Structure 1
Amino acid sequence: MSETGKAAADAMSELKIDLMNPDSVSKFAEDAIAFVSVHGLRILVAILVLLVGRIISRQVSKVVRRVMLKAKVDDILTSFIATIVYYALLSAFVVAALGQAGINVTSFLAVLGAAGLAIGLALKDTLANFAAGVMLILFRMFKKGDYVTVAGTSGTVQELSAFYTELSTPDNQRVVVPNSSILGSVIVNTSAHKTRRIDLIIGISYEDDIEKAKSIIKSILEAEGRLLKTPEPLIAVGNLGDSSVDIFVRPWVATSDYWPTKFALLEKIKISLDEAGISIPYPQSDVHLHKVE
């Protein structure tokens, strides 16, 4: 232990004073004045280093954030890197302040490492979430505003932190998912591409005219302005089912227009086929009864 540390320990051991004894109080005051006169400057410098270090760490973090935002880096990655820079610089200044105060930094770091190991074993699930969060942020599997399906939950990404991901579901529920659960499961990013294909299966009766039904569906697709011209929509018989002839309809649309366009197409196709006398059958069974003599 350093001389400053020994002096501090001796001073702490003598803190048990009798407040009713004037001599004891006087001796304590003299010892306190002597300690401050000898070590006060070093402690003051250590506090000053810590305060200045905090200011510098915050300013550097802000500069890093500004530079990354100017370079149009993703908000989540920017926030993560700026936070790491802040705490890394602050940790360095804390160590410098402790050394300036006369504390044996090597022993302190050894004790801190042992304590960190014990805490790490106790918080292994939390650390697993942190490691998964770092992987998700660095590989940018999704970003804020994307609609994703992760760990069996679908929603819009509101926040991706080091430990958890916050989603907002279509019915406006807030769902918080641990990052380790996300990294260990399939990730579906619906917003990853600008365009998306609408998959419809329109069943018609075996007695109906297939070419007439396809012509009606084609005219509906051509009238829908939100659909993309390329790739061209696919309209083809895709399956001969038990109760219907299934026509596969595959138009392309901008990802942001997917759901409203799909809903509109389903409604228009149903109304138009009804008006043309083409039925959309439902599964049914024929029961034959045989009379036994």
Structure 2
Amino acid sequence: MEKAQEWFDYGIELAKEFGPKLITALVIYIIGMWVVKKVIKGTRKVMSKSKYDQSLQTFLLNLFSWALKIFLIIIVISRLGVDVTTFAALIAAAGLAVGLALQGSLSNFAGGVLIMIFKPYKIGDLIEAQGVLGKVKGIEIFTTKLVTPQNRLAIVPNGAMANGNIINYTAEGKMRVDTVIGVGYGEDIKKTKEVLLEVLTSNPKVLKDPAPSVNVLELGDSSVNFAVRPFCEPDDYWDVYFATHENCKLALDKAGIEIPYPHQVEIHREG
């Protein structure tokens, strides 16, 4: 009984000594997180009104949010009675160890900074990088998020993005749609070009500048192949691509121009 009473009294003393500190630290953390959210929300509004680039805005807000949270955690720990200078030394030592273990993450962070500085792409751009084609949905501290044409979310490390090849289809504001249409050798080339060009110029999503073009690409084994090349806005690429194939087929059929296809010849043997 005496031993139990000693432990109970010891627990009471600890509660008296550390209880108020723990409660105060918890209150500071809860209020601090609320303040951080409000500050981030207010900063986002200020950036939006100042017309900050959306990519830079997202990146800076993520960085600012993490910095505020780390500062808050240091305040909470110091309120618990932990020596901040000792804690800082521990953080530095732990940071070195973590830095060595997470070199890839640090590389991705550096890549994110480089992307923000040199801006090879921004949110909304259609790009191809690291074997992924998609529209940039977000640029975060460590990764870039792309939405593919199949509506899949691809998350690519910023380190690889900053050090690899990037094709930005949106940067110039116009994309060329490359299609090939073949017709029979017996068809009139001039008439065929007129029909195909009419298909392109009648499509409202095809740009007039640069003008669309239709040219003989090659003399194939069984067809004369035409390079049919309209230009369009990046967002209209797939609409123009599919419409070009469909409308060219319909227009050639209407004009009586044959699109060659393999014919199956049946051989009848007597006897």
TM bin (shorter chain): 0.7 to 0.9
Deviations 1:173-230 (A, max 9, x none): 3433333333343223334443322223333344332112112223323332332222
Equivalent of 1:89 in 68, 76, 85:
68
Deviations 1:141-194 (A, max 9, x none): 334444332211223333433233333333333433333333343223334443
Q: Counterpart of 1:4?
A: none
Q: Counterpart of 2:247?
A: 268
Query: Structure 1 residues 44-53 or 159-168, which shifts more?
Result: 44-53
Tell me the secondary structure at the aligned position of residue 248 of structure 1.
Answer: strand
Q: Counterpart of 2:269?
A: none
Q: Counterpart of 2:3?
A: 20
Does the 8 Å CA contact 1:150/1:186 hold for their aligned counterparts? yes
Q: Do residues 221 (structure 1) and 200 (structure 2) align?
A: yes
Equivalent of 1:259 in 221, 238, 245:
238
Q: Do residues 129 (structure 1) and 108 (structure 2) align?
A: yes
1 CA distance for matches of 2:250 and 2:94?
70
Does the 8 Å CA contact 1:198/1:251 hold for their aligned counterparts? yes
Does the 8 Å CA contact 2:136/2:146 hold for their aligned counterparts? yes
2 CA distance for matches of 1:57 and 1:49?
12
CA drift of 1:282 comes to: 5.9
1 CA distance for matches of 2:23 and 2:181?
80
Q: Counterpart of 2:179?
A: 200
Query: Structure 1 residues 160-169 or 66-75, which shifts more?
Result: 160-169
Q: Rg: which structure is higher?
A: 1
Distance 1:197 1:30, change over 3 A: closer
Tell me the secondary structure at the aligned position of residue 278 of structure 1.
Answer: coil
Query: What is the root-mean-square deviation in Å for CA atoms of aligned residues?
Result: 3.6
Does the 8 Å CA contact 1:243/1:283 hold for their aligned counterparts? no
Q: Do residues 79 (structure 1) and 62 (structure 2) align?
A: no
Equivalent of 1:175 in 154, 162, 186:
154
Q: Counterpart of 1:8?
A: none
CA drift of 1:121 comes to: 1.9
Q: Do residues 189 (structure 1) and 156 (structure 2) align?
A: no
Tell me the secondary structure at the aligned position of residue 3 of structure 2.
Answer: coil
Does the 8 Å CA contact 2:201/2:212 hold for their aligned counterparts? no
2 CA distance for matches of 1:277 and 1:253?
28
CA drift of 1:97 comes to: 5.6
Q: Counterpart of 1:164?
A: 143
Q: Which runs of 5+ in 2 are unaligned?
A: 264-271
Deviations 1:82-110 (A, max 9, x none): 23223323434544565566643333212
Does the 8 Å CA contact 1:198/1:252 hold for their aligned counterparts? yes
Distance 1:42 1:236, change over 3 A: closer
Q: Which runs of 5+ in 1 are unaligned?
A: 1-17, 285-293
